Chains A and B, each alone.
Chain A
Amino acid sequence: MAHAHKLEIFRGLLKFKSNTQKIWGVLILLSIITAIEVVLGIYKPEALEAKVIGMKLLNWIFIILTIVKAYYITWDFMHMRDETKGLRRAVIWTGVFLICYLIFILLQEGGYIEGVYSSGFIKRDF
């Protein structure tokens, strides 16, 4: 069993002394991110309601923070950081490509149907 863990996060900016320390460090990071999400979710600052590429800025922030969290869970808790490049790519890229495709197809279609409803082809609001 490989005992060699890669102990630095943020591309080497932060290096931990032991694997246990790294785990607690990542927990602190994940807790901070969750706390930011919750505070933003409760107060919903006016400034972040602006639309950026078809969605509220706030929602973009939530989604990006979620992906950051997912990255650290996979890389440090699931030890993806210590796996070979081949295994990492086989798992991650397969998922990323298929999920992006699925999301694009379904959201595009949902938006189209909404357009059909709201532009008056079908009247259902009575």
Chain B
Amino acid sequence: MDTTVVNTGTEGKTWGGGNQPLKASYGKMMMWFFILSDALTFSGFLAAYGFSRFKFIGSWPIADEVFTHIPFFHGNYPMIYVAFMTFILIMSSVTMVLAVDAGHHMKKAKVTIYMFLTIIGGLIFVGSQAWEWATFIKGDYGAIQTNGGNILQFVDTDGNRVAVRDIAISEHGERVQHERKSGLWFVSEGTLPSYTIDEVYNGLEANPNVLVRTQTLTEDGKKTVLSREESLKQIKENGKLVVEGANLHVNEYGSPLFADFFFFITGFHGFHVFSGVVINIIIFFNVILGTYERRGSYEMVEKVGLYWHFVDLVWVFVFTFFYLV
């Protein structure tokens, strides 16, 4: 700290600016106020998520049905992987604060080890988030989007989800994806869905034990399941598009807004984690090179530590509002 404060000759003179009522160095205080403004940014995003959710409170996707996967395992495990991610981030927060503590005691070797562990934790977290995104984009069971933009999913009579690919009867469709080489060079289109509405409808007709589930929530917070006749009628009359996975336009799990906010908020948080890792790496090398040993203070570790804890703090809220509530 002493090395960063410039001697201005005003020490002890209250009206000359020599007074330090907050007893914190300039750098640390500015880090706190940056964190405050960043916290307001994140709460703006989360409050906007809350706005959209309250707006569609009767049809919002159920997070437990959306995030159910664990890498390398099959089956339905809601929450487990996110809990693991949360734990990793808290753990890397702990190693960070241990690095700060070792810094106070000027123990270079310990600071180095703890900074290294913090970086590893951060990388595991970013990797997990990338995997989470990939799973979400790829999708699970597929669904039908209606003309009005609602999502219709399939369940069997016991209420278990049924994948579109398991019921659809594929026909030899003549519709192929238009590419620039095969027609107008200035016209192109995105990938076509694997199935057409007709194929799914025929499949539904052939499977008498499959029903349609709408995104409307019932009194006890479950999704509404339609009767057999109503199911066929809905797909026939309102079905427009087969949706697999989620992106910024469509979302097989329900409201596209859910996917938009998921990508935006976890993306913005992931960007913070990524930049935190980069800053940690820079500080890590400075520690190894002995910069702070020479400076006589490890306050820089404390400042990046504040940022790193803040990233953890934000995740605690993202975890609650995206996965729990």
Contacts and interface: CB of A to CB of B under 8 A. Distances in A.
Contact of B94 (A23, A79, A98): A23
A34 B54 contact: no
B16 interface: no
Contacts of B306: 78
Given A23-B97, A34-B83, A114-B54, A1 B299 contact: yes
B231 interface: no
A112 B299 CA distance: 49
A103 to B, nearest CB: 5
Given A70-B313, A91-B32, A91-B33, A41 B324 contact: yes
Interface in B38-74: 39-40, 43-44, 47-48, 50-58, 64
B150 A114 contact: no
B325 to A, nearest CB: 5
A73 B316 contact: yes
A20 B39 contact: no
B268 interface: no
A110 B313 contact: no
Interface residues of B, number: 66
Contacts of A1: 1, 104, 297, 299
A6 interface: no
B101 A23 contact: yes
B93 interface: yes
Contact of A69 (B50, B52, B146, B316): B316
A70 B91 contact: no
B51 A41 contact: no
A70 B44 contact: no
Interface in B63-89: 64, 78-80, 83, 86-87
Contacts of B263: none
Interface stretch (B18-26, B129-137, B165-173, B204-212): B18-26
B50 A84 contact: no
A16 interface: no
A47 interface: no
A98 B21 CA distance: 24
A107 B50 contact: yes
Per DSSP, chain A at the interface is helix
Given A1-B297, A20-B101, A41-B79, A95 B316 contact: no
Nearest to B35: A91
Interface in A32-81: 34-35, 37-38, 40-42, 49, 59, 62-63, 65-66, 69-70, 73-74, 76-79
Given A74-B313, A84-B22, A87-B29, A110 B52 contact: yes
A62 B325 contact: yes
B43 A102 contact: yes
Contacts of B317: 66, 70
B128 interface: no
19 contacts: A19-B101, A23-B97, A34-B86, A37-B324, A38-B79, A49-B220, A65-B320, A66-B317, A77-B309, A78-B306, A83-B22, A84-B24, A91-B35, A102-B44, A110-B50, A110-B51, A110-B55, A125-B148, A126-B146
Given A94-B36, A99-B47, A102-B44, 19 more contacts: A31-B90, A37-B320, A62-B320, A73-B93, A73-B313, A78-B310, A83-B22, A84-B21, A84-B23, A98-B40, A103-B43, A103-B50, A106-B48, A107-B47, A107-B50, A110-B50, A111-B57, A114-B54, A126-B146
Nearest first, the 3 A-B pairs at minimum CB distance are A110-B54, A110-B51, A106-B51
Interface of A: 1-3, 19-20, 23-24, 27, 30-31, 34-35, 37-38, 40-42, 49, 59, 62-63, 65-66, 69-70, 73-74, 76-79, 83-84, 86-87, 90-91, 94-95, 98-99, 102-103, 106-107, 109-111, 113-114, 117-118, 124-126
